[in-house]
Amino acid sequence: MSAQLTPNDIHRLTEITKNVRSNIIKMLYHAGSGHSAGSLSWAEIMVFIYFYLAKHQPQNPQWPDRDYVLLSSGHHCPALYAVLAEAGYFPIEELVQLRKLGSRLQGHPQRQLVPGVEISAGSLAQGISQAVGLAIGLKADHKPNHVFCLMSDGEFQEGQTWEALLLANKYHLGNLSIIVDVNKIQISGHTDQVMPMHPFFEKIADFGWNAIKTNGHNFIELNKAFTQDLSNDNPSVILCQTIAGKGVSFMENNPEWHGKAPNKEETIKALTEINES
């Protein structure tokens, strides 16, 4: 990762993000079910990590020197699948098999089935515990690999998350970054109405972590946040302010689209908006 993004970098990442968002919509339409809003809000973050930040080799998914990217909020796997396919881990044409009987692209990712998937996910808030354990092991073995754990903001309503934060601080895991999609909605409604977490930033900092806020849809701001993160010896939490359903006007900030797939007419409208953005 270079210190500053070039205009060519931004253009490349932006075009990849459009492809990813379009494929998320197509996948969910063909599946007839799935999680639209959160998958769309992850797009820029995942694209930045896989196409600019992390060390990985699509042709060799088990490369020992790779950085580990763990998706804790497994229901957002349409975004992960779209990014992995775009990167070359498996054919893009396979994406329309999402949630189909016999498909390896399940509604929650399974590590043994999909190249590039580091953990099987389903039960929320477990990813951070796996990430902490992995980071402890890598540090003990003096390995240079970095661990990136991708979480939803709703996962911070669970006690397991805060136990993992304490443990990571104890062992000074500078090789661990938690990236949080702060889109402020979950299946039951807006997160502040379900379980208020304010002051979110201050709580994380009080647990000994390097707490960073950024715009999760802006590549320049993401680059600044990760540069600050990777220059710090403590574990970091990057709170990415995002818009649920980003890029599709009728999905944005609407909890109804947490676990809903678009129909044919909605798919056409969504793809038009994404391609014209």
Q: Evaluate whether residue 62 is within a structural domain.
A: yes
pLDDT for 163 beyond 90: yes
CATH of the domain at 234: 3.40.50.970
Q: Evaluate whether residue 261 is within a structural domain.
A: yes
> 32-36, 62-66, 121-125: lowest mean pLDDT where?
121-125
Q: Evaluate whether residue 50 is within a structural domain.
A: yes
3-class SS at 11? Answer: helix
pTM of the model: 0.96
Q: Evaluate whether residue 188 is within a structural domain.
A: yes
- Domains held by the chain: number: 1
Tell me the per-residue pLDDT of 193-237, one tens digit each, with 9 for 90 and over. Answer: 888 888 889 999 999 999 999 999 999 999 999 999 988 889 999
* Pairwise CA distance, residues 210 & 176, whole Å: 11
Q: Evaluate whether residue 137 is within a structural domain.
A: yes
Q: Evaluate whether residue 263 is within a structural domain.
A: yes
Number of helices (H), then strands (E), in the chain: 10, 7
For residue 158, the enclosing domain spans: 7-276
Q: What is the mean pLDDT of residues 124-143?
A: 97
Q: Evaluate whether residue 35 is within a structural domain.
A: yes
Give the ranges where 3-76 is alpha helix by DSSP (H).
7-31, 36-41, 43-48
Q: Evaluate whether residue 1 is within a structural domain.
A: no
pLDDT for 2 beyond 80: no
pLDDT of residue 76: 98
- Tell which wins on pLDDT, 274 or 185: 274
pLDDT for 1 beyond 60: no
